[in-house]
Amino acid sequence: MIVDDNESFLDAVRVLLERQGLTVVGVAGSVAEGVERVHELQPDFVLVDIDLAGESGFTVVRKLAEKSDDGCPVILISAHPGEDFSDLVAESTAVGFIAKAELSAESVRELLDRPR
C-alpha cells in the first residue's frame, strides 16, 4: 500500500511496482485515510511519504504502531534526500527510508529483507 498526497506519483509508482512484481493493494492521500486503509486492507507493507500536504508521514508511522498488533512494516519515502530525515527515521518504528528517485521493487525488497 502507498500513502502519498500526489496523485500522479501514486499512479506512476503503482504501475512501476506492479510491473516489477509487487502488488499494490491500495493507496491513500492523507494520514487518516492511510491509517484507515492499512487496517482495512492489511497490506504486507506500507510506503508512506514523509510530507503529506501539511501532515507528517511520521504521524502515520506512529498511529500504525499504536494500533497495530502485527507490526505492518512501514517504509518512509520522500523526494528529499534521506540525510534530511535520518535521525527522525531512526527514531521512528519505520523499517527505513527510500528516496522516491530510488524507489523500485528491488529497493523495497532489500529494505524489508534486512534484519530488524
Architecture of domain 2-28+36-100: 3-Layer(aba) Sandwich (3.40)
Reading the chain (116 residues) residue by residue, the pLDDT tens digits are 999 999 999 999 999 999 999 999 999 999 999 999 999 999 999 999 999 988 899 998 998 888 765 578 999 999 988 888 889 999 999 999 999 999 999 999 999 998 87
pTM, 2 dp: 0.93
Q: How do beta strands 46-49 and 27-28 pair? A: unpaired
Contacts of 94 (CB under 8 A, 6+ apart): 48, 61, 74, 75, 76
**Residue tagged 508521514 (cell numbers):** 57
- Rounded CA-CA distance 77/34 in Å is 14
- CA 49 from centre of chain: 6
Kindly list the domain boundaries of the chain, sorted by start residue: 2-28+36-100
